[in-house]
Amino acid sequence: MKQTLHQRRLRGSAGAAVRFWRTAAWHRRDVQSTLMLDRVGVCLKLLWPASDLAAGSRCCAAARKKTMKQPNYPHPSLKVVEPYKQALATHQMYSAISSLDHVRTFMETHVFAVWDFMCLLKALQRALTCTETPWIPRGDAATRRLINEIVLSEESDLLSDGAYASHFELYLTAMEEAGAETLSIRTFIQKLEAGEFVQVALEDAKAPAGARQFVLNTMDIMQTGKPHAIAAAFAIGREDIIPRMFLELIKRLGGGASPYVDGASLSLFLYYLERHVELDGAEHSILAAKMMRNLCAADEAKWRESADVAVNALQARAWLWDSVLQQLTVSKSTTT
């Protein structure tokens, strides 16, 4: 179904309005309105093909950037992370993506970060809630609520076709649609299912070097066993910075004039990126900041340690982007 630019903009505006009112209802804890607006969103997405959905959504990307408010740092010590966030938002890797093959190269490395995001999330849920039997109440109820709300959408989000999937599973599907190689990440998951340690599974799966370093850094943070440290990596190293990074990718891939953007093969990837700009920018980053406040409270030592961990997580992301940039540079030199 071919849509005019005007129709796409109208649809994008309607989608933006639904997202706005849905977020407002969610913050009021108006469950019925939230679920109703979720259904409206699904209906909107079913009325047009996924490629037109992505195009319509991109028409509103600039408006969303203006209206999306990043949460204030929950403690002054965390202001030290701002230069690292700025460096990520302006990294050269984004502008180096100049072909569909480059997008595939990016995805084949980035998918491991998508996977270990879920590890951080589940480590927090395990630390802050009771996930064993017999069940016993654990920790602060408000903090439990915060982490469980994030888990709900990350592990079983409502997709554009009305189905449910984790964001990792969505990313794998997007990779297949884009023609990216999934053998390495699937082999990695199979090795884990067989009981291999993460480091061994990464080597056996021949994961990209940058991805191995990134994942092992995340595992080191998790192995501290300190909920406030894990929350810092999750809140500042992921939820807070992801919208800024993904907006750069959306601008690069969704400008409309870029000849290498194939709407049929990148529509799910763009949907993944835009979903995270929306979800993390409007909801999850705020929830994660509240979770840090609950975990660190008035303990200055915990806040200082959280700041150190946050810087470490942001540096690890910069190194991951460096590794992708190196791959893209090598790819360009071999094709010229």
Q: What is the pLDDT of residue 282?
A: 80
Q: Kindly indicate the confidence band of residue 159, based on its pLDDT and cuts at 50, 70 and 90.
A: confident
Q: Kindly indicate the confidence band of residue 283, based on its pLDDT and cuts at 50, 70 and 90.
A: confident
d(CA 292, CA 303): 9
Q: Kindly indicate the confidence band of residue 115, based on its pLDDT and cuts at 50, 70 and 90.
A: very high
Q: What is the pLDDT of residue 68?
A: 46
Q: Kindly indicate the confidence band of residue 63, based on its pLDDT and cuts at 50, 70 and 90.
A: very low
- Indicate the average pLDDT of the chain: 82
Question: Looking at per-residue confidence, does 67 or 185 come out higher?
Answer: 185
